[in-house]
């Protein structure tokens, strides 16, 4: 009998300016939604682990918030989280959208990777499904010249599922040899409560004006299955900073809040496998992003 090939496993994270598609790529590689996505920058607040199982091994993707200049204590904590994650991973994928020229923000992030010498580095040009061939070629050349030490430069589209296998296999070759870190079938190590809170937050962010994205936190008071087991009650709070934001979330005669509940329920039900009764309560915690005590209570 020939010896079985050695499997590899390790940790990967994606970096880039806010909104370059890090969460979308994570979800596409994992094959189901573990990171919330939104057209608002700074959607991701936790280091969510998405787990990709391939014949050759396992990738554990740590999804970080976009690196940005912090304006609040929350912003500072998010940046600290990124620093901590980058220090621990085996490979860093640097993302640039094919549709936008490489700018100062990209150059700054690419240069900052010097601080993580042990991680292998892969440049990834995203959103190729909506870019012209010329744009893609130009972007690949721009990105390639940002650093001397890329282990690979890969164009792909997470939305159109193009080249995802190429990326996954390339990343696996960069991982240390060793057994899988999680059992097969596990797609994330996030708790159910955290995943539900993130789904509700994403539903609340959809379609709101720009002043809200950073100002929404979600806490879960209770998740309980009713005796007959076919319905799960979930009680959750949407926490905002100001009364004016509370009014925006609730909407005219509660219409917006009802829509948020419906959107969230549609995603929570397949996750937990029962019908859901979702009760959302909107409360105001003044300036919570700047208050260490409130940040702690809200899980940051």
Distance between CA 282 and CA 300 in Å, rounded? 19
Report residue 280 as tokens: 């959302």
In the chain the first and final C-alpha atoms are separated, in Å, by: 52
- φ/ψ of 90, rounded to 5, equals -90, -25
Binding-site members for GTP are 16-23, 63-67, 126-129
Binding-site members are 16-23, 63-67, 126-129
> C-alpha dihedral over 97, 101, 104, 107, to 10 degrees?
60
Which residue matches tokens 């992030």?
109
Distance between CA 242 and CA 27 in Å, rounded? 32
Q: In what order do the strands lie in the sheet with 120-126?
A: 48-54, 57-63, 8-15, 91-97, 120-126, 152-155
DSSP state of 87: T
What is the greatest pairwise CA distance in the chain? 71
Distance between CA 300 and CA 283 in Å, rounded? 18
């Amino acid at each position: 009998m020939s010896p079985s090939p050695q499997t590899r496993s390790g940790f990967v994270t994606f970096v880039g300016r806010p909104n370059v598609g890090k969460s979308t790529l994570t979800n596409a590689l994992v094959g189901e939604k573990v990171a919330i996505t939104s057209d608002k920058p700074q959607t991701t607040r936790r280091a969510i682990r998405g787990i990709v199982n391939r014949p050759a091994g396992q990738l554990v993707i740590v999804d970080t918030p976009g690196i940005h200049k912090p304006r609040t204590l929350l912003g500072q904590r998010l940046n600290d989280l990124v620093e901590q994650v980058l220090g621990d991973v085996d490979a860093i994928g640097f993302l640039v959208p094919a549709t936008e020229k490489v700018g100062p923000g990209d150059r700054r992030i690419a240069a900052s990777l010097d601080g993580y010498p042990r991680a292998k580095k892969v440049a990834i040009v995203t959103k190729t499904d909506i870019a012209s061939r010329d744009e893609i070629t130009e972007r690949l050349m721009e990105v390639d010249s940002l650093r001397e030490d890329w282990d690979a430069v890969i164009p792909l589209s997470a939305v159109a599922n193009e080249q995802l296998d190429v990326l996954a296999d390339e990343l696996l070759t960069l991982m240390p040899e060793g057994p899988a870190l999680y059992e097969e079938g596990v797609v994330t190590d996030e708790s159910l409560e955290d995943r539900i809170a993130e789904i509700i937050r994403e539903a609340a962010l959809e379609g709101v004006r720009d002043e809200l994205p950073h100002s929404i936190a979600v806490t879960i008071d209770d998740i309980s299955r009713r005796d007959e087991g076919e319905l799960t009650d979930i009680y959750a709070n949407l926490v905002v900073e100001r009364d004016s934001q509370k009014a925006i979330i609730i909407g005219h005669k509660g219409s917006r809040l009802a829509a948020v509940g419906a959107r969230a329920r549609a995603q929570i039900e397949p996750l937990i496998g029962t019908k859901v009764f979702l009760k959302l309560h909107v409360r105001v915690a003044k300036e919570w992003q700047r208050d260490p005590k409130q940040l702690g209570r809200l899980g940051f």
